[in-house]
Amino acid sequence: MRGKHGAQTDGAQGGARRARGKDAARARLDRDEPFDLYKTPGFLVRRLHQIVVSACYEGWGDLDISPVQYGALMAVRAFPGIDQRGLARAIAIDRSSIGTVSGQLERRGLIARRTGTRDKRNKELFLTAKGAAVLRRAHPLAWEIQDRILAPLDARERRVFVGLLAKLVERNNALSRAPLEPTGFEAD
């Protein structure tokens, strides 16, 4: 950290010489290794994810959709009639979560679920008019939200960051338990 996360972190590791009352804590710190959690990519990724989710709820406001729901709506619009499993693969969420998500979207009338004609095990998903309307409002806002999050970076940094992020995600796809399989819709 050392100024990375701000000067107010002295309690965490700096200025050991001026320790007064917190000897126990500081002793622990100096002995072994510093409290370096804040520098680890894992921690930072979790934080950024929290930030993205918050920014989405705030940015979409009364649309009241989550990032995952937005992704699901986008995918259902792109691939009408897609089944739940296919949707899960297309937006990289778990086979189990997709049931909850599509259930919510159906309950709110944003998508329609219909038992498959060809294969009765399937539920085919379609965007409703209401869902399409929500998506039309949500889409431009998504770009605003994104701009807001990326605001601290200049244009070049944004490109670099998103590029490296995409590379990491792509190359680690298999590591995830719900890997992305973008093909998604291979009917027939």
Partner DNA sequence: CGAAAATAGACAGTATACTGTCTAATTTGT
Partner DNA sequence: ACAAATTAGACAGTATACTGTCTATTTTCG
User: Which backbone phi and psi does 186 adopt, to 5 degrees?
Assistant: -120, 70
Q: Contact between 141 and its own copies (CB under 8 A)?
A: no
Residues in 43-62 that interact with DNA by CB under 7 A? 46, 50, 53-54
Site for its own copies in 121-140 (CB under 8 A): 124, 126-129, 131-133, 135-136, 139
Using the minimum distance from each CB to DNA, give the nearer residue, 48 or 160: 48
Residue 143: Cβ-neighbour burial (10 angstroms; 0-12, 13-18, 19+): exposed
Q: Which does 83 bind (CB under 5 to 8 A by kind): its own copies, DNA, none?
A: DNA
> Going by C-beta distance under 8 Å and a sequence separation of 6 or more, which residues neighbour residue 154?
none
106 vs 89: CA distance, rounded Å = 19
Of positions 56, 76, 84, 127, contacts DNA by CB under 7 A: 84
Please, which of residues 34-93 interact with its own copies by CB under 8 A? 35, 37-52, 54-56, 58, 67-68, 71, 74-75, 77-81, 91-92
The answer to the question of residue 100 lying near its own copies (CB under 8 A) is no
Q: Residue 97, interface with its own copies (CB under 8 A)?
A: no
As a whole number of angstroms, the distance between CA 13 and CA 103 comes to 48
Residue 88 CB burial class (10 angstroms; 0-12, 13-18, ≥19) = buried
Phi and psi angles of residue 111, each rounded to the nearest 5 degrees, phi first? -135, 160
Contact set with DNA (CB under 7 A): 46, 50, 53-54, 66, 68-69, 83-86, 93-97, 99-104, 113, 116, 118-123, 176-178
